[in-house]
Structure 1
Amino acid sequence: MIRVEERSTRPAGGPRAHGPAVEVVDLQRRYGSFEAVRGISFEVAPGEVFALLGVNGAGKTSALEVLEGLAPPDGGSVRVLGGDPRRDHSAVRPYLGVLLQSSGLPGDLTVRETVSAWARTLTAPRLVEEALAQVDLTGRAHVRVRSLSGGERRRLDLALALLGRPRVLVLDEPTTGLDPESRRTVWALVHDLVAGGTAVVLTTHHLEEAEELADRIAVLRGGRIVLEGTPSEIAETQPATIRFSLAPDAPPLPPLPGAELVAPAPDVELHTRALQPVLTTVLTWAAEQGVALAGLQARAASLEQAFLAVADDTSPPQA
């Protein structure tokens, strides 16, 4: 398991100690005539997790590369702790931790040598042993990177991202390749960092991960933000679902105000934004009529449902 520990009491310092940790205003990114990011804006406060979700090609990585200082914007602005991540690189970089989808670490170095080399590029790194223990790699310290499993290499990537005690942490698919137990322990580690005031920008294809970690979510499609809010607010953009099966001789359903009949008897499916009243009406009718509701399911709207509705929408995003 990855060990979670208390956050260091390192002084905040840095380019700016107050206000939003991340500010993105009308960000645009182009590749020739192709607009990968088409004017997105968001802020992330200290101690907040902000998730960018979207299918492949939605613009997530293109946006993160600007935030990480790896590419300039083609329009708009990005500020990390008040500084431009490219122009003010030397001031911002000590306080910015980045976990890329793929790090490309040298395979010939051992785990300890890799962490030690990375630590020499930082102004106030954690101790190497502390960093290894934090991600449960102490027992693999003398193993060459090329011999690590995919999950172990991902934990090494995470150790490097956290080595400088960042005030802003960018996590691009942080739990790729991790087993379920390690994934949940990484979540606990992120919660711990956030409790200490770290701002986190996250991308993930695991919607369960977004629900677990994110305070707010923005869903990208075609380079634009098409949904934004808390996980529950985004889920509530979709209706709840009621499903059940009726016998062939069952009486007709009663009027159900506030419900849409998506599939008729015998296999009934209802969509509604008033789950409790509609379900109460159905159950009352069934009890009065002596009707069995075989396979009854009542499900509130979910983040996955909302995400898939956006992902499956083929209409162009609104300008």
Structure 2
Amino acid sequence: MTNHRSDAVVTVRGLRKSYGSRVVVDHLDLDVHAGEIVGLIGANGAGKTTTVECIQGLRRPDAGMLRVLDLDPVRDADRLRPLLGSQLQDSALPDRLRVGEAIELFATARARNGDELLARFGLAERRRSAFAALSGGERQRLFLVLALLNRPRLVILDELTQGLDPSARRDVWAAVAQLRDEGTTVLLVTHELDEAEALCGRVIAMRAGRVLDQGTPAELMARHAGRATVRFGWGAGPDDLASTLRRLPGVADVTEAGGRIAVHGERQVIAHVGAELVRRGRVPADLDVDVPDLEAALLHLLDTATNPAVPVLTGAR
């Protein structure tokens, strides 16, 4: 079912792009709405990067309709470009260009304070450094600074935190969340599914240029990630715990073996089992929780979509 909300920032219908005989994007429908962070996820070759390149007008589609901020990315490229910020996988700058010079080169009259952005992303001390002297992580952060510099209405990020250490990743995530809070729309291409879980209000899973399913991370996990499991030792002997656990909300199955209990079901069982154990005044030291995540959901989707012409699933639109 197609979503017809009136606040669409990006509308894609029937997008098709081929390279020779290889179809990369295959009649794709896609919507991104104002103030959203939307993630495109999927294996390599799913068509994610080609899709965002078409949205930006960097590639001309073979067929389909695209509207970005009410403009055509190909015909209205000059009008659209100032409204977009992007950080792409293959971004590059001249080796001798200094960081501060890049800020001055890309800044427009609407630009934020470049020095404040550099400081936010840990690049203040690199202002006089040449691009060639930056590490891979520093280059990623510089491209993000340039993407945000001119207060864009839509920001497109491809492999946003590739090459960043955990601390830098968290800083970048916080900056992207702040963008959303300020009303900026973000389209994020990522293989880092914890990143998609942390940032995205909606994720779109792709394979072979088509949408497999979409929804909030929680919705995709509920549909495709399998059960949550809580395991713990309880010992032998008569006890009504197992029968009590079977009656808890969301519980699908309870098994007992070797003095250990395993409770399987929806994610909510984790809270309910914990509450029951606390109520009984005994929380086992060996309690173990297996929580299905977005990676499990995506792997399940990819495993079951063995036919490239797989139909769009229930949650897709």
TM-score if structure 1 supplies the norm length? 0.79
Q: Does the residue aligned with 1:312 lie in a helix, a strand or coil?
A: helix
- Which residue number corresponds to residue 137 of structure 1? 123
Contact 1:241 1:269 in 2 (8 A): no
Percentage identity across paired residues of the two chains: 39
User: Is 1:37 equivalent to 2:13 in the alignment?
Assistant: no
Contact 1:24 1:77 in 2 (8 A): yes
- Which residue number corresponds to residue 240 of structure 1? 227
User: Is 1:98 equivalent to 2:86 in the alignment?
Assistant: yes
Contact 1:236 1:302 in 2 (8 A): no
- Which residue number corresponds to residue 72 of structure 2? 84
Alignment of 1:158-169 (within 5 A): 158-169=144-155
Once residues 86 and 203 of structure 2 are traced to their aligned partners in structure 1, the CA distance between those partners, rounded to angstroms, is: 19
- Which residue number corresponds to residue 315 of structure 1? 306
Once residues 183 and 42 of structure 1 are traced to their aligned partners in structure 2, the CA distance between those partners, rounded to angstroms, is: 27
**Structure 1, residues 11-41: CA drift from partner, whole Å, max 9, x if none?**
xxxxxxx831111222222122222112222
Alignment of 1:17-166 (within 5 A): 19-119=7-107, 122=108, 124-166=110-152
Contact 1:240 1:275 in 2 (8 A): no
Contact 1:204 1:210 in 2 (8 A): yes
Once residues 71 and 126 of structure 2 are traced to their aligned partners in structure 1, the CA distance between those partners, rounded to angstroms, is: 37
**Structure 1, residues 213-256: CA drift from partner, whole Å, max 9, x if none?**
101000111211112001111110133232648899999x8896
Equivalent residues, number: 293
Shift of the 126–265 alpha-carbon distance from structure 1 to 2, 3 Å rule, reads: same
User: Is 1:187 equivalent to 2:173 in the alignment?
Assistant: yes
Matched letter for residue 301 of structure 1: P
Contact 1:218 1:227 in 2 (8 A): yes
Shift of the 298–35 alpha-carbon distance from structure 1 to 2, 3 Å rule, reads: same
**Structure 1, residues 181-221: CA drift from partner, whole Å, max 9, x if none?**
11111111111111111110001111111111101000111
Unaligned residue ranges in structure 2 (runs of 5+): 1-5, 312-317
**Pairwise CA RMSD:** 3.3
The list of structure 1 runs, each at least 4 consecutive aligned residues, that deviate by more than 6 angstroms after superposition, is: 245-251, 253-258, 267-270
Once residues 95 and 297 of structure 1 are traced to their aligned partners in structure 2, the CA distance between those partners, rounded to angstroms, is: 48
Per-residue deviation at 1:272?
Answer: 3.1
